[in-house]
Amino acid sequence: MLKIQNALLTTTYLPSPHCDHRPDADDISLIVVHNISLPPAQFGTGSVEKFFCGNLNFNEHPYFETIKELRVSAHLLIHRNGDVTQFVPFDRRAWHAGKSFFQGRENCNDFSIGIELEGTDDIPFEKKQYARLAEIIQLLQEKYPKITREHIVGHSDIAPGRKTDPGPAFDWSYLDCLLNP
């Protein structure tokens, strides 16, 4: 169970070694939305979880050889069915954004929460994923009031030219409707 403020959200917790201390745990002010699937465009394989936890067998698929040197994680993964896995506590820095900047600040990992959606840039996301994402965002905004709507961005917004996710299949207008009923 993930506890944010006084609300409980059922999650699975799989601790990732790919995190460290934030420079200032009181400076959480950004949510970065990502997408991921391993192998690409394959869902429900369990490979994302293994990758974030440092347990992926790189011989299982040819694509895995291309990510072998990466050490990444996210705070949360929202699966296609809406289930949530947490890898890094919010007060710790997950390694999700890489080289990045937002409103004149570099190193977005320092002050952001990374939320991965199981998906790809060009396959529509599930309604259950949007509902869960909106629920999580609202809970996080209660706990971290610096996270305003303008501080909810895609990976492509903080790493333009380097990243494209969550991609054109992500419906920001639909998310906005869920956040502002």
Catalytic residue IDs: 116
How buried is residue 58: exposed, middle or buried, by Cβ count under 10 Å (0-12/13-18/19+)? middle
CA distance 42 to 61: 12
> To 5 degrees, how large is the angle CA 80–CA 92–CA 116?
15
Number of H helices, E strands in the chain: 4, 12
CA distance 60 to 64: 7
Contact between 80 and 42 under an 8 Å Cβ cutoff? The reply is: no
Neighbours of 69 (CB within 10 A): 7
19 is written with which tokens? 């995190």
